[in-house]
Structure 1
């Protein structure tokens, strides 16, 4: 796929606010989901099913809303898309924050196969414990 087609896949995730049906559509079932240590749920998850159950399940126990907002996108010719943006987070207690992130996606054969994430875990910690 072209760099612009790969960016379109990633944009679809953000524009849907990471809607489960969109994730199913654009992500490979064997997806690797690599979240920065120290971030809630930090670690490496293997498979879309594990991402939903083991990452998003526990994460959403603390949040009314938690979704990515893409702001800038860059791509190379090797299937990598670099996305800069923020998570919009609203806790169950009603606290809110926008948390900066950098995502590095890998696309292959029209599907997203890997995410590497770096996010501001300090801001997430503060909004959860305010």
Structure 2
């Protein structure tokens, strides 16, 4: 069985380790980015520019590296892709951290238009704040 085109778009983003040039190609400029409360920067961001500056900007002030690693992806008939995996990162100063997540993506016309995220916020909070 071949992989769905929607899963291929999501996997491309993960396999790039969220490279900025790939993000710009696969993420719709008006994406809705919904991050679970309790996660650093948790909240809803509207538009790729807000995601880049308002979510990732402050996050990378405290992290040396941080990227998603997808372990499993499933698609439904409603243009959703369910991704299970973990974030891998390093806190400034070198301490490594792995944080489990589930992402629910909505894909339209080959672009990611909506993300709903849930993650183990406590693990990241302990790594950042001792």
- Residues in 1 aligned to 2:52 and 2:33: alpha-carbon distance in whole angstroms: 10
Segments of 5+ residues of structure 1 without an aligned counterpart are none
Normalization by structure 2: what TM-score?
0.96
CA positional deviation for 1:93:
2.1
- Residues in 1 aligned to 2:70 and 2:30: alpha-carbon distance in whole angstroms: 23
Displaced runs of 4+ in structure 1, greater than 4 A? none
- Residues in 2 aligned to 1:3 and 1:31: alpha-carbon distance in whole angstroms: 23
CA positional deviation for 1:3:
6.8
- Write out aligned runs for 1:103-118 (5 A): 103-118=103-118
Match of 1:75 in 2: 75
- Residues in 1 aligned to 2:61 and 2:19: alpha-carbon distance in whole angstroms: 17
Corresponding residue pairs, total = 129
Segments of 5+ residues of structure 2 without an aligned counterpart are none
3-state SS of paired residue (2:4): helix
Report if the CA contact (8 A) 1:3-1:77 is conserved: no
Q: CA RMSD in A?
A: 1.2
